[in-house]
């Protein structure tokens, strides 16, 4: 019974041994005890079902396409592999191994990625490049540029095929250059054989290059108007396959990402606009149509929107484009073309324009990635091809190993590249011959290659049996496709175009004039250079595998996987790995590398003896190595020897550092002693020279001349001291009269006095030779005194200004006091009026004045108080009530009167305090205090007036109430008399 439940019956001889469950899901297929197809497929399926998409087959990393996002990438995993926290199979591990080998051995590295379409080569290469860009980049700008190149390469070089939604339609080699410190210095991208026919010819269900659909969907309105862009369904080159969209892919969003990548790489906006012009021109060229003009079916270009727009975008005249695409110029004679010929010529022009744009864009990308190439030491290359290990070296070195049989593909290779009569050689020869036709080419290859068992030929086609399977080739158009040349009139049209096509046309014309390489010759040239570059580096292999043809996650088809493993000979690689010796050194290399860990003297030993002695001394097991005639072979890394070598090197470096440090310190002390000794000799010599000069000067001076000099000096000193004293006295008088701050002026005069005294005392000690210095000091003292005069003048001016401002402030304060007194007098008058009103009101009540209305003049404001008179007539009230209310109102008035006197005294004291508190205060501060005091007074005055009004209001209300009572009784009394009835 199989794992999926099916039951089959097989003979006992067909059964293969199975591995134990302990070995299920091992990282490396080499670890399997039984290596057969079912065991290998079961182990890979077990890992794939657990989302473990990476496995190892010896030196080859197997990468299964999961067709979904797997959470095994990003910064966390990057750090884990860099710090050796994780070591399980992964593309990061391969990239890290290549980087470490480069830094350790100083050797160029290459990561070779292979696999069929849809197996995930593009993604794998992108992850490897991201890791290498991050681990060796201290420049964030270079890292961003390197990562953004993938976006541009995919947009212009990838397309949807029947087997892959993002298939690379060109070969590429990415070289990342590092300096001695392991930092990226620059990078370069080489491209090979772009599938330019995809621009004009598509199979059903496929798409052209992604960038065409991106610009149609994501271009902004302004750009669309400039290029006259339509929807992708409007262009024949794009709609011919019936596939315009990819599920899950947003072309509009990818166009914005592409523009961001252009900006990151420093491609100018003008160049970007030129790129978009060419893309639109290619699309409009595909829409150009032709009309038959005669009975011989000759055609002419139709002057419609497509032709006019294409001519405008290319920068040429529509008439010139019409002539080139409708005719074929041979020896200055224009021959009209038929429909198929004109269509082919149109398509050839469109494909050439796109190819030229692609090549120009790669040059711009490489220019942006060109950094500090002068300091480049090593290179890591990423390539999507495959290679196998050479096993002949074991036999030449006399190494005993179990030989693994695998199918040789040499006969198939001889069909293509054997000289002088290989397929490519015959194709190039017939392409350069004017008499060759497709029929003669087919006959030639049949005659020269029919002996090969991998070759078979039939009419108009031939078959080649490759290692994987047999492939049929159509020979009907091989000669034309191999020549890959534009006609001369087309080249002239392109050279006459305005920007941005002139650089492409001129480059092509130079290429046509200088070289005549065919497509096959270019391919062989690139291939040989590539092989040579790979042979000069250490290879790391990644084999991408597509688990199913449906491109769905979680589906594992054994037949599909097994075919891919067979094509890449994974089983043979694992068997070779089990029996091979991947690590090898020449005897000289091994002795030089590990000779430092040998305790014996190796100066008299040859390299082979030294190597054997090292292996025996450190007891390396014989089963993991073999000694050849010129080399040593190891099955794996010799960690023991490497660790011992590293310890010795570390100890040697420490000893060297200490020794060099001691030598430097000793040399420093010797140099210091020598410098000090030299300085002492120089000082002594200088002192002796000065002493001799002084002796000669002393001997030349006579006593009489010395007395004359002293007399002159004393006379000068006396004159200077007198002049300084007079100056000092005059300035003291001026300072006493004009200085505002006496203490400060005293300190200044004292300091000047001390300076002058210091100068006068110093002058006494002058010698004859210092007379000139004394004169300089006199001049300096005069300038100092002049400066002080100017300072005193400025101080006097400031004092005058302060006096004027003080007078102004005094006048302002007097005005404020007058205002204050007038307002206080007003309040006194108001209070007296209130008292008078109260007394007169009480008197009227007691004597019973006749009833009358109150005066309309009420105490509405302080301005009206002094002029208000008491009411002329009051109605009599009851004596008892009026007395009580009069007493209350009288108390209130007395309280207000007392408060007025107290507040008046209080404010007078505050005003005097402001003036007398600190006479030396600035006037501005005093004015500010007066303003604050006035504000307090205004607030109290307002409050006091309010209370005074309330008291008068109460008084008026009491009079009115009593008057009303009297009138009421009087009215009823009169009514009782009329009715002769007394009503009490």
Alpha carbon distances (Å) from 234 to 160, 175, 346, 603: 19, 40, 18, 81
Q: Comparing 380 with 936, which gets the higher pLDDT?
A: 380
State the pairing for strand pair 333-336/631-634.
Answer: unpaired
State the pairing for strand pair 327-330/158-159.
Answer: unpaired
Report the pLDDT value the prediction gives residue 71, as an integer from 0 to 100.
Answer: 92
Q: Report pLDDT digits (tens) over 738-793.
A: 665 555 555 555 555 555 444 444 444 444 556 677 777 777 877 887 787 787 78
Average pLDDT, rounded, for the chain? 78
Taking alpha carbons only, the member of 890, 38, 110 closest to residue 541 is 110
Taking alpha carbons only, the member of 657, 637, 543 closest to residue 593 is 637
Q: Report pLDDT digits (tens) over 420-435.
A: 778 888 888 877 777 7
Residue 13 gets which letter from DSSP?
G
Report the pLDDT value the prediction gives residue 941, as an integer from 0 to 100.
Answer: 79
Q: Which long-range contacts (CB under 8 A, 24 or more apart) does 653-658 make?
A: none
Kindly write down the DSSP assignment for every residue of 825-850, as one continuous string: HHHHHHHHHHHHHHHHHHHHHHHTPP
Q: Report pLDDT digits (tens) over 146-157.
A: 889 999 999 999
- DSSP H or E stretch at residue 173: strand 171-178
124/72 Cα distance (integer angstroms): 13
574/241 Cα distance (integer angstroms): 43
Token digits of residue 841: 């009101």
Q: How much is the pTM?
A: 0.59
Token digits of residue 213: 């659909």
Report the pLDDT value the prediction gives residue 49, as an integer from 0 to 100.
Answer: 93
Taking alpha carbons only, the member of 263, 305, 258 closest to residue 286 is 305
Q: Report pLDDT digits (tens) over 57-86.
A: 988 999 999 999 999 998 899 999 999 899
Token digits of residue 717: 């000193």
pLDDT level of residue 887 (50, 70, 90 thresholds): low
Kindly write down the DSSP assignment for every residue of 203-263, as one continuous string: -TT---BHHHHHHHHH--HHHHHHHT---GGG-HHHHTTS----TT--HHHHHHHHHHHHH
Q: Report pLDDT digits (tens) over 233-258.
A: 999 999 999 999 999 899 999 999 99
The residue count for the chain: 984
pLDDT average, residue stretch 27-35: 85
pLDDT level of residue 978 (50, 70, 90 thresholds): very low
CA dihedral 672, 678, 680, 684 (to 10 degrees): -170
603/758 Cα distance (integer angstroms): 85
């Amino acid at each position: 019974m199989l794992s999926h439940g099916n039951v089959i019956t097989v003979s006992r001889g067909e059964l293969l041994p199975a591995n134990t469950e302990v070995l299920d899901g091992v990282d490396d297929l080499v670890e399997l005890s039984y290596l057969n197809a079912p065991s290998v497929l079961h182990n890979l399926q077990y890992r794939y079902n657990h989302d473990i998409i990476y496995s190892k087959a010896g030196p080859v990393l197997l990468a299964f396409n999961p067709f979904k996002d797997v959470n095994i990438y990003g910064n966390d995993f990057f750090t884990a592999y860099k710090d050796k926290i994780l070591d399980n199979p992964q593309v990061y591990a391969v990239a890290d191994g290549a980087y470490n080998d480069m830094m350790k051995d100083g050797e160029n590295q290459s990561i070779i990625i292979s696999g069929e379409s849809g197996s995930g080569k593009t993604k794998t290469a992108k992850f490897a490049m991201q890791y290498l860009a991050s681990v060796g980049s201290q420049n964030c700008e270079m890292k961003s540029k390197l990562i953004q190149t993938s976006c541009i390469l995919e947009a212009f070089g990838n397309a949807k095929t029947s087997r892959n939604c993002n298939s690379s339609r060109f070969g590429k080699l990415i070289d990342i250059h590092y300096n001695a410190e392991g930092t990226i210095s620059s990078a370069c991208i080489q491209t090979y054989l772009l599938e330019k026919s995809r621009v004009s010819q598509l199979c059903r269900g496929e798409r052209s290059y992604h960038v065409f659909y991106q610009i149609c969907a994501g271009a902004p309105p302004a750009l669309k108007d400039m290029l006259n862009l339509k929807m992708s369904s409007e262009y024949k080159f794009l709609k011919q396959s019936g596939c315009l969209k990819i599920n899950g892919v947003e072309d509009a969003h990818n166009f914005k990402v592409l523009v961001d990548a252009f900006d990151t790489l420093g491609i100018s906006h003008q160049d970007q606009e030129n790129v978009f012009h060419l893309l639109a021109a290619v699309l409009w060229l595909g829409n150009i149509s032709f009309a038959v003009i005669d009975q011989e079916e000759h055609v002419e270009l139709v002057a419609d929107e497509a032709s006019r727009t294409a001519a405008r975008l290319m920068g040429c005249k529509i008439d010139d484009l019409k002539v080139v695409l409708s005719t074929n110029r041979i020896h200055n004679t224009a021959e009209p073309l038929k429909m198929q010929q004109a269509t082919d010529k149109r398509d050839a022009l469109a494909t050439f324009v796109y190819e030229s744009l692609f090549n120009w864009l790669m040059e711009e990308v490489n220019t942006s990635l060109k950094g500090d190439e002068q300091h480049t030491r090593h290179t890591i290359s990423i390539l999507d091809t495959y290679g196998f290990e050479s096993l002949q070296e074991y036999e030449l070195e006399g190494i005993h190993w179990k030989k693994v049989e695998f199918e040789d593909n040499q006969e198939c290779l001889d069909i293509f590249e054997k000289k002088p009569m290989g397929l490519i050689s015959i194709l190039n020869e017939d392409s350069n011959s004017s008499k060759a036709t497709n029929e003669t080419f087919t006959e030639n290859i049949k005659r020269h290659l029919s002996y090969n068992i991998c070759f078979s030929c039939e009419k108009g086609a031939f078959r080649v049996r490759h290692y994987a399977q047999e492939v049929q080739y159509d020979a009907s158009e091989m000669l034309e496709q191999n020549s890959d040349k534009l006609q001369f009139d087309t080249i002239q049209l392109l050279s006459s175009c305005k920007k941005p096509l002139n650089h492409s046309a001129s480059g092509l014309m130079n290429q046509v004039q200088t070289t005549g390489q065919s497509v096959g010759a270019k391919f062989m040239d690139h291939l040989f250079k590539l092989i040579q570059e790979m042979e000069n580096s250490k290879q790391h292999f990644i084999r991408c595998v597509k688990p199913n043809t449906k491109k769905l996650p979680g589906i594992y088809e054994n037949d599909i996987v097994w075919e891919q493993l067979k094509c890449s000979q994974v089983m043979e690689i694992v068997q070779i790995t089990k029996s091979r010796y991947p690590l090898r050194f020449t005897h000289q290399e091994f002795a030089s590398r590990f000779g430092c860990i040998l305790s014996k003297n190796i100066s008299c030993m040859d390299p082979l003896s030294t190597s054997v002695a090292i292996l025996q001394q450190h007891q390396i097991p014989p089963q993991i190595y073999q000694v050849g005639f010129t080399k040593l072979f190891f099955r794996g890394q010799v960690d023991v020897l490497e660790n011992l070598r590293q310890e010795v090197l570390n100890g040697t470096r420490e000893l060297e550092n200490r020794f060099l440090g001691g030598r430097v310190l000793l040399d420093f002390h010797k140099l210091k002693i020598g410098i000090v000794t030299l300085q002492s000799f120089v000082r002594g010599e200088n002192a002796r020279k000065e002493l001799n000069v002084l002796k000669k000067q002393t001997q030349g001076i006579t006593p009489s001349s010395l007395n004359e000099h002293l007399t002159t000096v004393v006379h000068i000193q006396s004159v200077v001291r007198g002049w300084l004293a007079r100056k000092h006295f005059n300035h003291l008088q001026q300072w006493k009269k004009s200085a505002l701050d006496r203490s400060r002026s005293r300190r200044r005069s004292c300091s000047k006095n001390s300076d002058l005294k210091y100068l006068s005392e110093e002058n006494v000690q002058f010698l004859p030779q210092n007379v000139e210095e004394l004169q300089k000091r006199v001049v300096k003292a005069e300038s100092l005194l002049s400066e002080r005069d100017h300072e005193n003048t400025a101080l006097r001016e400031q004092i005058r200004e302060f006096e004027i401002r003080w007078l102004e402030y005094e006048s302002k304060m007097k005005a404020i006091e007058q205002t204050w007194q007038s307002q206080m007098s007003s309040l006194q008058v108001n209070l007296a009026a209130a008292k008078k009103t109260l007394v007169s009101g009480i008197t009227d009540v007691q004597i019973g004045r006749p009833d009358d209305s109150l005066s309309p003049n009420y105490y509405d404001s302080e301005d009206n108080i002094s002029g208000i008179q008491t009411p002329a007539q009051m109605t009599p009230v009851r004596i008892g009530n009026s007395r009580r209310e009069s007493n209350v109102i009288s108390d209130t008035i007395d309280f207000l009167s007392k408060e007025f006197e107290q507040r008046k005294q209080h404010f007078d004291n505050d005003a005097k305090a402001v003036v007398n508190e600190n006479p030396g205060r600035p006037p501005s501060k005093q004015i500010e205090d007066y303003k604050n005091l006035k504000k307090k007074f205004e607030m109290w005055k307002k409050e006091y007036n309010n209370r005074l009004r309330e008291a008068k209001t109460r008084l008026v209300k009491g009079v009115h109430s009593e008057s009303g009572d009297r009138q009421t009784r009087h009215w009823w009394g009169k009514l009782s008399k009329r009715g002769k009835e007394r009503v009490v």
